[in-house]
Amino acid sequence: MNSKQDIKVACVGAGYFSQFHYESWSRMPGAVPVASCNRDIDKAKATGLPAYQDLARMLKAERPDLLDIILPPIAQADAIRTALRCGIKWIICQKPFCRSLNEAEDVIALANAAKATIIIHENFRFQPWYRAIKTAMAQGQIGTPLQATFRLRPGDGQGPRAYLDRQPYFQELPRFLVHETAVHFVDTFRYLFGAPSAVYADLRNINPVLAGEDAGYILLDHPNGVKAMFDGNRCLDHSAENLRQTMGEALIEGTEGVLILCGDGSVEWRRFGQKEQQNVLPPSTHSGFGGDCVHALQSHVISGLLEGTPLENTAPDYLDVIRIEETIYCSAAEGKKITLETP
């Protein structure tokens, strides 16, 4: 699609995280939100858009150019199939994408047959601090990158009521830390360093009210000798006024310096052999989620539709993240490092 005409956007899903999607669409140049669908019609009405309970009915009545699927994995495949049957050619789908690799491959095959495009709403790589880090690395500020560490410390996982007020289904997920959270950083590491070739994982459960793991280490081997470590523990916190702004802290280290991501969204740079730090990116002033990364991703998609610019995180590419996730769980179960197969 290369028309300069505004893109009509319909949404399905009106749960907790959808607020960030709807707010973004409401201020999006080039896009016009036209309807909301949710099985709880009152939640759909609360968006202020024409409300529906039946997805097919909404799509046939509103005829949107783009469907934004803001649903958990259990409902995504059916929503995509419905959209394809209704002739929708552009779909954004929240992550985690589908319930399994096989299910994801099946709906991608259907989309390919229908000449439709699915973009996964993997928004962490669009957070401004990772874009700034990518630019600083490309400019050679840390020389040759050697290793990276991200310490996930959102501090929201303690006690019997963990997540019940925000996303209660978290407690029931048999796979939690990696499937719901660490995949963000697997994809971000891919964006920064390239596709990994091997993985080692050590996972554990700390809060007994959770069905799945909530802490662990994941070590990824990336091209050119880069090692990336995800060190996650949802029961612990970090130094930040808004713990969910960055959800933790990071170091990107190279032969000529280090980039430091702080909990306020700022990025600092220290040259090798020196003590002084220089600011690369000031603290984030955005009060919403993740430095406005939802809006950044959705703007990226609208630009792609209107201008024909390349799209990041198309569903076929995102299958690699799902494959890595599966390998992480295998590594943790088997207690060994596993080489990743090239897709």
In this predicted model, what pLDDT tens digit does every residue of 247-290 receive, in sequence order? 999 999 999 999 999 999 999 999 999 999 999 999 999 988 99
Q: Are 297 and 180 in contact (CB under 8 A)?
A: no
Decide: residue 266, CB within 10 A, 0-12 exposed, 13-18 middle, 19+ buried.
middle
Segment (H or E) for 251: strand 248-254
**What is the residue type of 23?**
E
pLDDT computed for residue 1 by the predictor: 58
Topology at the third CATH level for domain 7-121+295-312: Rossmann fold (3.40.50)
Sign of torsion, CA 177 178 182 183? Answer: negative
Alpha-carbon gap, residue 212 to 335, rounded angstroms: 18
Strands 31-37 and 51-52: parallel
Site of tokens 């040759």: 144
3-state secondary structure of 265: coil
pLDDT at 3: 56
CA distance 90 to 118: 6
Residue 211 is given by DSSP the state S
**Left (φ > 0), alpha (ψ -120 to 50) or beta: where does 4 sit?**
alpha
Write out residues in the chain with pLDDT < 70, as ranges: 1-4, 342-343
Q: Could you give the residue ranges of the DSSP H alpha helices within the chain?
A: 18-26, 41-45, 55-62, 73-85, 101-113, 128-138, 183-193, 293-307, 315-334
CB atoms closer than 10 angstroms to residue 3: 9
Please tell me if the domain spanning 7-121+295-312 has the same topology as the one spanning 125-281+322-339. no
Coil vs helix vs strand at 336: coil
* SS3 call for 216: strand
The domain made up of 125-281+322-339 has a fold known as: Dihydrodipicolinate Reductase; domain 2 (3.30.360)
Residues 290-327 have pLDDT tens digits of 999 999 999 999 999 999 999 999 999 999 999 999 99
Q: Which two tokens stand for residue 142?
A: 């840390």
**Boundaries of every domain in the chain:** 7-121+295-312, 125-281+322-339
> Tens digits of per-residue pLDDT, 130-139?
999 999 999 9
Q: Give the C-alpha separation, 126 to 328, whole Å.
A: 24
Q: Name the β-bridge partners of 8.
A: 32
**Please, what is the end-to-end C-alpha distance for the chain in angstroms?**
28
Coil vs helix vs strand at 227: strand
Task: Report strand pairing: 31-37 vs 7-12.
Answer: parallel
pLDDT of residue 2: 53
Would you say how long the chain is, in residues? Answer: 343
